[in-house]
Structure 1
Amino acid sequence: MKKTLVSLLLLTPLLANGANEDFWTQDVWSSPDRGFLFYQEKTQDNPKELEEFKTVEELRAEAQRRLNIAVMDPTEENLKGYLAINTLMLEKSTVFAQRWKETLWANPGFDHTVIHPNANFAQVALKDEKKLAKEASLKSLASQAGLVVLVQAECSFCSMMAPVMTNLSAQTGISVLPVSIKGDVSNDWPNAKPDNGIVKRLMTLSSSVPTVTPAVFLVDRTGQNAQLIASGALSLEDLKDRLVQASGLSQPMNSTIKTLPRL
């Protein structure tokens, strides 16, 4: 009897450990993989129907899930599952794009193309208007300010910019005064004046220190204001744009477009 009792005591821990792993005695909440009822069959996740998705995030997540499955196991069923949700997303995108356009048409204040039309003929016309407005601003600037250009001998950019400055003066009437910073006279700038202290004054008035010649300063007729607007080589049109911008004479974009008065 004593021997039997000892044997039972030794077997009790083993039975207890086995019971922990036994399906019938296991806590039903202890394992998410536990089978269903006494058949020990795992429950199957029922995927949502496409109509049940209410947010873009949910739809994207489901589309990614189906794509992953179709890529890893490209059966006809898996591919059809992904194609179904992809078709739904394309349909929603099409409807959204159409509603977007209709809303813009009804609310032109949000439509960028109202002021910046895509039509080629309108773009050409507005470009011509902008060019005329720029030329008018430059002619107005000619009566208010002039240009002082710092040049020096053996300067390739100075040679390149000489005809540009000549054309600018001829087209706009803006006076150009070249100043040789070393006292030498370049063949490209035969009318250049020697520096008589104007270089230091220009740097003081503009709070700018040019590092490359030619350096172009916009100076008002009073000689009390100066602004460095260009250094080195640039095109005639770029120089015109800088002059208009720096002078503050630029007109608002597409200023000839008229808005409807508030009713």
Structure 2
Amino acid sequence: MENISVENNYACDICEANFCKNSFLEKHMKTHTKPYSCEACEFSCSSSASLARHVRTHTGEKPFCCEVCGYSFAQKSVLKSHMQTHSDVKPFSCSLCKSTFSRKQYLRIHMRVHTGEKPYSCQVCSSSFAQKQYLAIHMRTHTGEKPFSCELCQASFSANSRLSRHMQMHTGAKPYSCGVCASSFSQKEHLRKHMRTHTGEKPFRCQLCESSFAEKSKLRRHMTTHTGNKTHLCDMCNSSFSQKEHLIKHIRTHTGERPFSCQVCGSSFTVNAGLRRHMQIHM
């Protein structure tokens, strides 16, 4: 049986820590050294358990499985945290709004919505992010890495969430329905954009004029009208355009293409707006 010292006579030679058992001292000494090394990279640690957790980052092994939803995790502690998502208990409340959270760290991340804090900065450009995972996804825009691949086509994505949205194209699922009309959408953000056609909301405002837009992409296109940049050139004449879609419309004046056809009388038009105006004749 191991001797136990009431007076904590087992002292560390490196720091001032004292222990009542020699086994405690031996375990503590490993914190000063890192005898366990990874064979796949230069990582080293003080315990075999830490090494085992690290090795899973190479193998992808996730031995801890949720019995409720089937998700699996590389660490038991992460599984324990995940289990709280299946519980209605959310003891951590935001003092600025009504949001509640199952974990304290989720509340801490949420608070950045109110403070505007973005502690994770990109070393390549000036972008910064509220969460580390968003920075990791952003870095792939610099590296070109797209680790999430579709098994049905050759498409690949920088984030798993984008792959999930893409998969709905193959399934045809449109779970997001408009409460005003019969339209339905495969993505929640598409429904949100669509709702603005009913509400008339145009939250994206130009800082140089009074124009406002329902979509951010349309604001970006509009901004080129202020810069005067016309980078889209016609190969058939000297015309140039600030927006690619304007060049595409212009090219049809050379080719004679009229891709927008009336289903009632067969008339065709170079632009969709022309077809819409024409349809009023049949109403």
Task: State the structure with bigger RCO (CA 8 A, min sep 6), 1 or 2.
Answer: 1
Identify, as 1 or 2, the structure richer in helix. Answer: 1
Q: Normalising by the residue count of structure 2, what TM-score does the alignment of the two structures yield?
A: 0.20
Q: Normalising by the residue count of structure 1, what TM-score does the alignment of the two structures yield?
A: 0.21
Identify, as 1 or 2, the structure richer in strand. Answer: 2
From the CA coordinates, give the structure whose radius of gyration is larger.
1
